[in-house]
Each structure stands twice: as structure tokens, then as C-alpha cells.
């Protein structure tokens, strides 16, 4: 008795009109980026009708320390090749501090490595990283001075501070919540962020980075803090979403996530 032929899909399904595929490379313990980004793009879909799907590859990392972060960096190319199998339109390397731990402007090399891996796999895609997206977005906004919140231990926060300042942006204040376990970072309550933001030293600040980490939940607080303090508020996640939309040629139209993604344009307050 012959066995009937079984058709197996050897290539990704053809892309549909009105649909974009987004690839994510995330730490294995990340629980936030795969919730905040889809929510942001759900709001984009609600406004524009264009749909987005998300496809992730995970690189091992449990604790936010320099050793594990650097080990994760070595897995980025393999993750990029794996996620590009889904023939994604854009890839986001969603671990800000893993890139920043390599030194100023490390996002340039990281993004090039990921782009090359996807191209070598036969599925080239636009590439951004949360580290690159954060500094480029601040620069595009014309921001010269920021205050920021991080979940990291103080030495890592200092490293992030130096990275941002290496991009020509002064960090007036940087709060460290000092949470080392990455799963615990993902359990932090974003409703605590408005109070933390109120206590930042922000005199002269052009913007607030409410979460300099893609794992620290912040989306529910972004609009509230921006409305209360009268400063543009961005996060590693909103900056990443912004760059993904730009790479796809889509104008931001996302409500309730700060002026950056609203489509209205960001106004940096003039300093007296």
C-alpha cells in the first residue's frame, strides 16, 4: 500500500496585500516586548486598516548582567536567520542594554550583522535595534537633554547613560530601580512610573525616557506622564515601533502612546 504524498510548505506563505510581517529578536526571558509592540500596532491597524503580524526568535538570557548580555550578542545572527525564515519585512533587535554593553554606537554593527544574516538566508529585511532606535529617535526629535528611568543595577544604568551621552545627548538624571532578574523586571508595575517621573531631575530636559529597557512595562503610563509633565515621553519600545513604521513607509497613527507615535509630530519645548 503506497503512502499518499503529503504537501509540506517549503517556503513562507506569500505576503498578503495590506499585511506586514515583523520579526523580533528578544531575550529568552523577555515577557514585555511581545505584548507592548503588538498592542501599539493593533492601535495602528485600528487607525489605518493595515495589519501586522509578529514572529519572534529568542536568545538565552535570564539575568541582566554584562556577562549574559554579551553572550546574547553572539546569538543575534543565528536568531536573525531563524526569524527571517518567516520572510519578515522588518526585524527589530529588542534588547537595548545587550547592544549598549558593547560600547558607544555598537547598534550600527549589531544592525549590520542582523541585516547580513537575513540577506544571507535569502530574506533581506529592514533592521532596527531598540538601542539604535532610542538614540536616533532622540536625535531626530532634536533632543539635547533627557531624564530617564531604568530597571537596571546602577553600573548598567551608568553604561546606558554613557551610551546616550556618546550620541550627543546629555542625561540630566537617571533613576535605577536595581532589578537584576529579567523576569522580575517584566513584573514591575507601570502604574508606579508617573510618581517616579515626577521625582526626576528634569529642569532643562527636552524629553523623558520613561523606560530605557524593552522589558520594563511602561505603555500604560506613557501618555499620562506626557500629559502631566508637558514633555515628550518616549520609551525603548515606542522608539522601536516608530522606527519599524518608518522602515515600512507607514505614517504613525497610534493613540495613547505619546506624541511620537500619534502622527501629530513631536514638539520639543524651547529652553529659556
Q: Is the distance from CB of 128 to CB of 160 less than 8 angstroms?
A: no
Binding residue per annotation — 8?
A: no
| DSSP conformational letter for 3 | P
Binding residue per annotation — 30?
A: yes
Binding residue per annotation — 199?
A: no
Residue 147 bridge partners (DSSP):
173, 208
Q: Is the distance from CB of 116 to CB of 104 less than 8 angstroms?
A: no
CA distance 120 to 126: 14
Residues with catalytic function:
95, 213
Binding residue per annotation — 158?
A: no
CA distance 92 to 84: 11
First-last CA distance in the chain: 86
Binding residue per annotation — 70?
A: no
CA distance 39 to 48: 14
Binding residue per annotation — 52?
A: no
| DSSP conformational letter for 255 | S
Binding residue per annotation — 188?
A: no
Return binding residues: 30, 95-97, 152, 182, 214-215
Residues of each annotated binding site for substrate: 30, 95-97, 152, 182, 214-215
Amino acid at each position: 500500500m503506497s503512502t499518499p504524498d503529503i504537501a509540506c510548505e517549503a517556503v513562507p506563505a506569500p505576503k498578503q496585500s495590506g499585511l506586514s510581517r515583523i520579526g523580533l529578536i528578544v531575550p529568552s526571558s523577555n515577557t514585555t516586548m511581545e505584548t507592548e509592540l503588538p498592542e501599539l500596532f493593533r492601535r495602528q491597524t485600528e487607525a489605518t486598516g493595515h495589519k501586522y503580524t509578529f514572529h519572534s526568535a529568542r536568545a538565552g538570557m535570564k539575568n541582566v548582567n554584562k556577562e549574559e548580555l554579551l553572550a546574547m550578542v553572539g546569538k543575534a545572527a543565528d536568531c536573525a536567520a531563524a526569524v527571517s525564515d518567516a520572510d519578515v519585512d522588518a526585524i527589530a533587535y529588542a534588547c537595548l542594554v545587550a547592544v549598549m554593553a558593547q560600547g558607544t554606537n555598537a547598534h550600527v554593527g549589531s544592525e549590520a550583522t542582523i541585516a547580513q544574516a537575513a540577506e544571507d538566508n535569502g530574506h533581506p529585511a529592514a533592521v532596527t535595534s531598540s538601542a539604535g532606535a532610542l538614540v536616533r529617535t532622540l536625535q531626530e526629535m532634536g533632543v539635547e537633554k533627557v531624564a530617564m528611568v531604568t530597571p537596571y543595577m546602577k553600573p548598567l544604568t551608568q553604561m546606558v547613560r554613557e551610551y546616550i551621552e556618546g550620541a550627543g545627548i546629555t542625561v540630566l538624571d537617571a533613576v535605577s530601580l536595581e532589578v537584576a532578574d529579567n523576569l522580575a523586571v517584566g513584573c514591575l508595575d507601570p502604574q508606579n512610573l508617573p510618581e517616579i517621573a515626577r521625582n526626576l531631575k528634569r529642569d532643562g530636559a527636552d524629553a523623558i525616557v520613561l523606560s530605557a529597557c524593552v522589558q520594563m512595562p511602561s505603555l500604560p503610563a506613557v501618555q499620562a506622564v506626557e500629559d502631566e509633565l508637558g514633555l515628550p515621553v518616549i520609551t525603548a519600545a515606542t522608539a522601536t515601533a516608530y522606527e519599524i513604521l518608518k522602515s515600512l513607509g507607514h505614517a504613525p497613527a497610534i493613540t495613547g502612546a505619546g506624541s511620537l507615535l500619534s502622527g501629530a509630530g513631536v514638539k520639543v519645548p524651547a529652553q529659556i
